[in-house]
Protein backbone atom coordinates (compact mmCIF):
# COMPACT_ATOMS: atom_id res chain seq x y z
CA UNK A 1 0.00 0.00 0.00
CA UNK A 2 0.97 3.62 -0.45
CA UNK A 3 0.21 5.49 2.78
CA UNK A 4 -0.01 9.20 3.60
CA UNK A 5 0.55 10.05 7.27
CA UNK A 6 -0.21 13.58 8.45
CA UNK A 7 1.58 14.65 11.65
CA UNK A 8 2.23 17.96 13.45
CA UNK A 9 5.96 17.24 13.72
CA UNK A 10 8.09 14.78 15.64
CA UNK A 11 10.04 13.66 12.56
CA UNK A 12 13.15 15.84 12.70
CA UNK A 13 15.82 14.90 10.18
CA UNK A 14 18.25 14.21 13.07
CA UNK A 15 16.10 11.29 14.20
CA UNK A 16 16.99 12.18 17.79
CA UNK A 17 15.97 15.76 18.64
CA UNK A 18 12.44 17.14 18.19
CA UNK A 19 11.13 13.66 17.51
CA UNK A 20 8.27 11.57 18.89
CA UNK A 21 9.82 8.13 19.53
CA UNK A 22 6.57 6.16 19.21
CA UNK A 23 5.83 7.92 15.93
CA UNK A 24 9.23 7.00 14.52
CA UNK A 25 8.74 3.41 15.66
CA UNK A 26 5.38 3.25 13.88
CA UNK A 27 6.73 4.84 10.69
CA UNK A 28 9.70 2.47 10.58
CA UNK A 29 7.47 -0.60 10.93
CA UNK A 30 4.97 0.57 8.33
CA UNK A 31 7.79 1.43 5.91
CA UNK A 32 9.04 -2.16 5.99
CA UNK A 33 5.98 -3.29 4.04
CA UNK A 34 4.49 -0.14 2.52
CA UNK A 35 5.45 3.06 0.74
CA UNK A 36 5.08 5.69 3.46
CA UNK A 37 4.93 9.45 2.92
CA UNK A 38 4.80 11.62 6.05
CA UNK A 39 3.44 15.18 5.77
CA UNK A 40 4.68 17.27 8.72
CA UNK A 41 2.85 20.53 9.37
CA UNK A 42 5.23 22.21 11.81
CA UNK A 43 8.60 20.45 11.86
CA UNK A 44 10.76 23.16 10.28
CA UNK A 45 10.03 26.77 9.33
CA UNK A 46 10.94 26.28 5.67
CA UNK A 47 9.58 23.60 3.33
CA UNK A 48 11.85 20.61 2.81
CA UNK A 49 12.03 16.88 2.21
CA UNK A 50 14.19 14.10 3.65
CA UNK A 51 14.25 10.37 4.37
CA UNK A 52 13.71 9.07 7.89
CA UNK A 53 12.87 5.63 9.28
CA UNK A 54 12.36 4.30 5.77
CA UNK A 55 9.77 6.95 4.88
CA UNK A 56 9.72 10.07 2.72
CA UNK A 57 9.19 13.15 4.93
CA UNK A 58 7.47 16.19 3.39
CA UNK A 59 7.88 19.23 5.66
CA UNK A 60 5.35 21.94 4.75
CA UNK A 61 6.88 24.94 6.52
CA UNK A 62 5.19 27.84 8.31
CA UNK A 63 3.31 29.40 5.38
CA UNK A 64 -0.24 28.03 5.12
CA UNK A 65 0.74 24.53 6.34
CA UNK A 66 -2.74 23.03 6.04
CA UNK A 67 -3.32 24.30 2.52
CA UNK A 68 0.24 23.34 1.58
CA UNK A 69 -0.22 19.86 3.03
CA UNK A 70 -3.40 19.18 1.05
CA UNK A 71 -1.70 20.41 -2.13
CA UNK A 72 1.38 18.27 -1.43
CA UNK A 73 -0.74 15.16 -0.84
CA UNK A 74 -2.57 15.76 -4.12
CA UNK A 75 0.73 16.20 -6.00
CA UNK A 76 2.15 12.98 -4.59
CA UNK A 77 -1.12 11.18 -5.32
CA UNK A 78 -0.75 12.14 -8.99
CA UNK A 79 2.73 10.55 -9.03
CA UNK A 80 1.27 7.32 -7.66
CA UNK A 81 -2.09 6.83 -6.00
CA UNK A 82 -2.34 6.68 -2.22
CA UNK A 83 -4.49 3.93 -0.73
CA UNK A 84 -5.48 5.95 2.35
CA UNK A 85 -4.64 8.98 4.47
CA UNK A 86 -3.93 8.70 8.20
CA UNK A 87 -3.73 11.62 10.67
CA UNK A 88 -1.75 11.13 13.87
CA UNK A 89 -3.34 13.75 16.16
CA UNK A 90 -6.60 15.45 15.32
CA UNK A 91 -7.05 19.22 14.94
CA UNK A 92 -5.09 20.53 11.96
CA UNK A 93 -3.76 17.06 11.11
CA UNK A 94 -7.21 15.49 10.94
CA UNK A 95 -8.54 18.45 8.95
CA UNK A 96 -5.82 17.94 6.35
CA UNK A 97 -6.28 14.16 6.24
CA UNK A 98 -10.07 14.17 5.96
CA UNK A 99 -10.17 17.09 3.50
CA UNK A 100 -7.52 15.55 1.26
CA UNK A 101 -9.17 12.13 1.45
CA UNK A 102 -12.50 13.65 0.48
CA UNK A 103 -11.00 15.48 -2.51
CA UNK A 104 -9.19 12.34 -3.68
CA UNK A 105 -12.02 9.96 -2.78
CA UNK A 106 -9.80 7.98 -0.43
CA UNK A 107 -10.50 6.47 3.00
CA UNK A 108 -9.17 8.29 6.08
CA UNK A 109 -8.18 7.49 9.64
CA UNK A 110 -7.72 9.86 12.58
CA UNK A 111 -5.78 8.95 15.71
CA UNK A 112 -6.57 11.08 18.80
CA UNK A 113 -3.25 11.54 20.57
CA UNK A 114 -3.44 14.76 22.57
CA UNK A 115 -5.84 17.36 23.92
CA UNK A 116 -8.20 17.40 20.98
CA UNK A 117 -11.26 16.42 23.06
CA UNK A 118 -10.82 18.65 26.13
CA UNK A 119 -11.32 22.29 27.04
CA UNK A 120 -9.11 23.48 29.91
CA UNK A 121 -9.86 27.16 29.50
CA UNK A 122 -7.98 28.34 32.59
CA UNK A 123 -4.71 27.25 30.96
CA UNK A 124 -5.81 27.84 27.35
CA UNK A 125 -5.43 24.16 26.47
CA UNK A 126 -7.53 21.77 24.43
CA UNK A 127 -9.25 21.46 21.09
CA UNK A 128 -12.78 22.18 22.34
CA UNK A 129 -12.34 25.61 23.92
CA UNK A 130 -14.52 27.51 21.43
CA UNK A 131 -17.73 26.71 19.60
CA UNK A 132 -15.93 27.12 16.30
CA UNK A 133 -13.26 24.60 17.28
CA UNK A 134 -15.90 22.18 18.58
CA UNK A 135 -17.87 22.45 15.35
CA UNK A 136 -14.78 21.97 13.18
CA UNK A 137 -13.62 18.96 15.21
CA UNK A 138 -17.06 17.37 15.09
CA UNK A 139 -17.30 17.78 11.32
CA UNK A 140 -13.82 16.39 10.77
CA UNK A 141 -14.23 13.41 13.10
CA UNK A 142 -17.60 12.52 11.63
CA UNK A 143 -15.96 12.69 8.21
CA UNK A 144 -13.21 10.20 9.12
CA UNK A 145 -13.81 6.57 8.18
CA UNK A 146 -12.07 5.25 11.31
CA UNK A 147 -11.12 6.94 14.60
CA UNK A 148 -8.59 5.49 17.02
CA UNK A 149 -7.26 6.59 20.41
CA UNK A 150 -4.53 5.41 22.76
CA UNK A 151 -6.41 4.69 25.98
CA UNK A 152 -9.74 3.73 27.50
CA UNK A 153 -10.52 7.21 28.89
CA UNK A 154 -10.06 8.67 25.39
CA UNK A 155 -12.40 6.04 23.93
CA UNK A 156 -14.96 7.00 26.60
CA UNK A 157 -14.63 10.70 25.71
CA UNK A 158 -15.28 9.92 22.05
CA UNK A 159 -18.27 7.73 22.95
CA UNK A 160 -19.74 10.62 24.96
CA UNK A 161 -19.56 12.68 21.77
CA UNK A 162 -21.41 10.00 19.83
CA UNK A 163 -18.30 8.70 18.07
CA UNK A 164 -17.12 5.10 17.85
CA UNK A 165 -13.37 4.55 18.14
CA UNK A 166 -10.85 1.72 18.26
CA UNK A 167 -8.32 1.55 21.08
CA UNK A 168 -4.79 1.53 19.61
CA UNK A 169 -2.05 2.41 22.14
CA UNK A 170 1.09 3.94 20.67
CA UNK A 171 3.53 1.34 21.98
CA UNK A 172 7.21 1.34 22.87
CA UNK A 173 9.90 0.08 20.50
CA UNK A 174 11.33 -2.82 22.52
CA UNK A 175 14.50 -2.91 20.43
CA UNK A 176 15.34 0.70 21.24
CA UNK A 177 13.92 0.48 24.78
CA UNK A 178 14.53 -3.16 25.90
CA UNK A 179 12.59 -4.62 28.86
CA UNK A 180 14.31 -4.71 32.22
CA UNK A 181 12.94 -6.89 35.01
CA UNK A 182 11.56 -4.89 37.97
CA UNK A 183 14.17 -4.83 40.73
CA UNK A 184 13.82 -4.69 44.49
CA UNK A 185 14.96 -1.44 46.08
CA UNK A 186 18.31 -1.50 47.88
CA UNK A 187 17.02 0.41 50.89
CA UNK A 188 18.69 3.72 50.05
CA UNK A 189 16.99 7.04 49.36
CA UNK A 190 14.06 6.46 46.98
CA UNK A 191 14.61 7.72 43.43
CA UNK A 192 11.61 9.34 41.72
CA UNK A 193 11.49 10.47 38.10
CA UNK A 194 9.09 12.81 36.30
CA UNK A 195 9.33 13.12 32.50
CA UNK A 196 7.33 15.85 30.76
CA UNK A 197 7.75 19.29 29.28
CA UNK A 198 7.36 21.93 31.96
CA UNK A 199 3.98 23.36 30.97
CA UNK A 200 0.49 24.02 32.31
CA UNK A 201 -1.14 20.77 31.25
CA UNK A 202 1.59 18.64 32.87
CA UNK A 203 0.90 20.59 36.08
CA UNK A 204 4.29 20.37 37.80
CA UNK A 205 3.07 22.68 40.63
CA UNK A 206 0.82 19.84 41.85
CA UNK A 207 3.84 17.51 41.76
CA UNK A 208 6.01 19.97 43.70
CA UNK A 209 3.34 20.58 46.32
CA UNK A 210 3.04 16.81 46.78
CA UNK A 211 6.80 16.53 47.19
CA UNK A 212 6.81 19.40 49.70
CA UNK A 213 4.17 17.55 51.73
CA UNK A 214 6.28 14.40 51.65
CA UNK A 215 9.31 16.35 52.84
CA UNK A 216 7.23 17.84 55.67
CA UNK A 217 6.42 14.33 56.92
CA UNK A 218 10.08 13.33 56.90
CA UNK A 219 9.98 11.20 53.75
CA UNK A 220 13.38 11.11 52.03
CA UNK A 221 13.58 11.16 48.20
CA UNK A 222 15.59 12.31 45.21
CA UNK A 223 13.65 13.50 42.16
CA UNK A 224 14.83 13.93 38.58
CA UNK A 225 12.54 16.14 36.47
CA UNK A 226 13.26 15.69 32.78
CA UNK A 227 11.72 18.03 30.23
CA UNK A 228 12.00 21.27 28.29
CA UNK A 229 11.12 24.39 30.31
CA UNK A 230 8.34 26.34 28.56
CA UNK A 231 7.47 28.38 31.68
CA UNK A 232 10.45 30.74 31.82
CA UNK A 233 11.93 29.37 35.07
CA UNK A 234 8.67 29.27 37.03
CA UNK A 235 9.15 25.67 38.16
CA UNK A 236 12.75 26.31 39.25
CA UNK A 237 11.55 29.26 41.34
CA UNK A 238 8.85 27.09 42.91
CA UNK A 239 11.44 24.44 43.77
CA UNK A 240 13.43 27.11 45.63
CA UNK A 241 10.36 28.62 47.32
CA UNK A 242 9.31 25.19 48.64
CA UNK A 243 12.80 24.42 49.91
CA UNK A 244 13.25 21.43 47.62
CA UNK A 245 16.58 22.37 46.00
CA UNK A 246 18.50 19.55 47.70
CA UNK A 247 16.13 16.82 46.54
CA UNK A 248 14.63 17.99 43.22
CA UNK A 249 16.83 18.25 40.14
CA UNK A 250 15.65 19.94 36.94
CA UNK A 251 17.57 18.22 34.13
CA UNK A 252 16.01 19.79 31.04
CA UNK A 253 15.59 17.92 27.77
CA UNK A 254 17.17 14.47 27.40
CA UNK A 255 17.36 12.29 24.32
CA UNK A 256 16.06 8.73 24.56
CA UNK A 257 19.63 7.46 25.04
CA UNK A 258 20.19 9.95 27.86
CA UNK A 259 16.81 9.23 29.47
CA UNK A 260 17.17 5.46 29.65
CA UNK A 261 19.81 5.29 32.47
CA UNK A 262 17.84 7.84 34.48
CA UNK A 263 14.73 5.68 34.13
CA UNK A 264 16.61 2.51 35.05
CA UNK A 265 17.89 4.19 38.24
CA UNK A 266 14.39 5.25 39.30
CA UNK A 267 12.11 3.46 41.75
CA UNK A 268 8.95 5.29 40.75
CA UNK A 269 7.59 7.48 37.95
CA UNK A 270 5.25 10.23 39.14
CA UNK A 271 2.98 12.13 36.74
CA UNK A 272 0.76 15.08 37.65
CA UNK A 273 -0.93 15.89 34.33
CA UNK A 274 -4.34 17.46 33.99
CA UNK A 275 -4.86 15.54 30.76
CA UNK A 276 -3.11 12.76 28.85
CA UNK A 277 -4.05 10.53 25.96
CA UNK A 278 -1.23 8.17 27.05
CA UNK A 279 1.27 9.16 28.33
CA UNK A 280 4.09 7.38 26.50
CA UNK A 281 6.47 7.77 29.43
CA UNK A 282 4.25 5.53 31.57
CA UNK A 283 4.76 2.79 28.96
CA UNK A 284 8.50 3.44 28.77
CA UNK A 285 8.77 3.32 32.56
CA UNK A 286 6.79 0.08 32.67
CA UNK A 287 9.07 -1.56 30.10
CA UNK A 288 12.07 -0.48 32.19
CA UNK A 289 10.50 -2.09 35.29
CA UNK A 290 9.36 1.16 36.94
CA UNK A 291 5.75 1.63 38.14
CA UNK A 292 3.74 4.85 37.95
CA UNK A 293 1.80 6.91 40.47
CA UNK A 294 -0.11 9.80 38.97
CA UNK A 295 -3.29 11.65 38.27
CA UNK A 296 -6.23 9.72 36.82
CA UNK A 297 -5.63 10.36 33.13
CA UNK A 298 -4.95 8.14 30.12
CA UNK A 299 -3.12 4.88 30.79
CA UNK A 300 -2.72 5.73 34.47
CA UNK A 301 -6.49 5.82 34.90
CA UNK A 302 -7.14 2.66 32.88
CA UNK A 303 -4.37 0.69 34.60
CA UNK A 304 -5.30 1.64 38.18
CA UNK A 305 -5.30 0.08 40.71
CA UNK A 306 -3.63 -3.11 39.43
CA UNK A 307 -0.81 -1.67 37.31
CA UNK A 308 -0.62 1.94 38.57
CA UNK A 309 -1.99 4.11 41.37
CA UNK A 310 -4.20 7.03 40.31
CA UNK A 311 -5.38 10.08 42.25
CA UNK A 312 -7.73 12.94 41.33
CA UNK A 313 -6.33 15.59 39.00
CA UNK A 314 -4.87 18.55 40.89
CA UNK A 315 -4.94 16.83 44.31
CA UNK A 316 -1.41 17.25 45.63
CA UNK A 317 -2.24 15.76 49.04
CA UNK A 318 -3.66 12.58 47.49
CA UNK A 319 -0.62 12.38 45.23
CA UNK A 320 1.71 12.67 48.23
CA UNK A 321 -0.19 9.92 50.06
CA UNK A 322 -0.04 7.61 47.04
CA UNK A 323 3.70 8.16 46.56
CA UNK A 324 4.36 7.49 50.24
CA UNK A 325 2.18 4.36 50.11
CA UNK A 326 4.12 2.84 47.21
CA UNK A 327 7.52 3.75 48.64
CA UNK A 328 6.59 2.20 51.99
CA UNK A 329 5.32 -1.08 50.51
CA UNK A 330 7.96 -2.75 48.37
CA UNK A 331 5.76 -5.73 47.52
CA UNK A 332 3.08 -3.36 46.22
CA UNK A 333 5.64 -1.41 44.18
CA UNK A 334 6.90 -4.60 42.55
CA UNK A 335 3.37 -5.89 41.87
CA UNK A 336 2.50 -2.63 40.14
CA UNK A 337 5.73 -2.75 38.15
CA UNK A 338 5.22 -6.35 36.98
CA UNK A 339 1.61 -5.79 35.97
CA UNK A 340 2.46 -2.56 34.13
CA UNK A 341 5.35 -4.20 32.32
CA UNK A 342 3.19 -7.08 31.08
CA UNK A 343 0.69 -4.62 29.63
CA UNK A 344 3.32 -2.40 28.00
CA UNK A 345 5.12 -5.36 26.41
CA UNK A 346 1.87 -6.85 25.09
CA UNK A 347 1.01 -3.53 23.45
CA UNK A 348 4.43 -2.57 22.09
CA UNK A 349 5.30 -0.83 18.82
CA UNK A 350 4.85 -4.04 16.83
CA UNK A 351 1.33 -4.38 18.24
CA UNK A 352 0.60 -0.76 17.26
CA UNK A 353 1.73 -1.27 13.67
CA UNK A 354 -0.22 -4.53 13.33
CA UNK A 355 -3.35 -2.88 14.72
CA UNK A 356 -3.16 -0.01 12.25
CA UNK A 357 -2.39 -2.35 9.35
CA UNK A 358 -5.48 -4.41 10.20
CA UNK A 359 -7.59 -1.24 10.07
CA UNK A 360 -5.92 -0.19 6.81
CA UNK A 361 -6.82 -3.51 5.18
CA UNK A 362 -10.40 -3.20 6.37
CA UNK A 363 -10.66 0.30 4.93
CA UNK A 364 -9.10 -0.58 1.59
CA UNK A 365 -11.33 -3.67 1.25
CA UNK A 366 -14.41 -1.58 2.03
CA UNK A 367 -13.33 1.11 -0.42
CA UNK A 368 -12.83 -1.44 -3.21
CA UNK A 369 -16.27 -2.93 -2.63
CA UNK A 370 -18.06 0.40 -3.07
**Per-residue pLDDT tens digits for 140-162:** 999 999 999 999 999 999 999 99
Q: Which of 367, 271, 364 is nearest to 310 (CA)?
A: 271
Classify residue 120 by its DSSP letter.
B
Q: Please state the rounded mean pLDDT for residues 119-147.
A: 91
**Per-residue pLDDT tens digits for 252-275:** 999 999 999 999 999 999 999 999
Q: Please state the rounded mean pLDDT for residues 332-348.
A: 98
Question: Is the confidence at residue 338, as pLDDT, over 70?
Answer: yes
Question: Is the confidence at residue 75, as pLDDT, over 80?
Answer: yes
- DSSP letters for 69-113: HHHHHHHHHHHS--SEEEEESSTHHHHHHHHHHHHHT--EEEEE-
Q: Which domains does the chain have, with CATH numbers?
A: 2-171+348-369 (3.40.50.2000), 191-346 (3.40.50.2000)
Q: Which of 229, 313, 325, 329 is nearest to 275 (CA)?
A: 313
Q: Which of 101, 94, 41 is nearest to 66 (CA)?
A: 41
d(CA 149, CA 169): 7
Across the beta sheet with 222-226, what order do the strands follow?
Answer: 248-252, 222-226, 191-195, 268-271, 292-295, 309-311
Least confident among 51-55, 72-76, 114-118, 268-272? 114-118
* Residue 173: exposure state from Cβ atoms within 10 A (0-12, 13-18, ≥19): buried
Cα-atom radius of gyration of the chain, to the nearest Å? Answer: 21
Least confident among 24-33, 122-131, 331-340, 354-363? 122-131
For residue 112, the model assigns a pLDDT of 94
Question: Is the confidence at residue 96, as pLDDT, over 70?
Answer: yes
Rounded to two decimals, the pTM is: 0.94
Residues 326 and 336 sit within 8 Å (Cβ to Cβ): yes
For residue 370, the model assigns a pLDDT of 61
Question: Is the confidence at residue 368, as pLDDT, over 70?
Answer: no
Least confident among 125-139, 171-185, 228-242, 302-316? 125-139
For residue 367, the model assigns a pLDDT of 66
Q: Which of 63, 52, 45 is nearest to 26 (CA)?
A: 52
Amino acid sequence: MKLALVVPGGVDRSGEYRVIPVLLALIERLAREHEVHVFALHQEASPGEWRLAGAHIHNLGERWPRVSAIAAIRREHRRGSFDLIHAIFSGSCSFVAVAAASLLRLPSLVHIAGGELVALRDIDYGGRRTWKARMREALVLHGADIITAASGPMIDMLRSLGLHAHRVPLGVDLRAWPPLAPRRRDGGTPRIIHVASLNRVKDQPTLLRALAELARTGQRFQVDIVGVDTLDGEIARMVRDLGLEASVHLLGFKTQRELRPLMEAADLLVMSSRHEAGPLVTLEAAVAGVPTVGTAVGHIAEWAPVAALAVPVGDSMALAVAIAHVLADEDLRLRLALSAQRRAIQEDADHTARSFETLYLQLVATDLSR
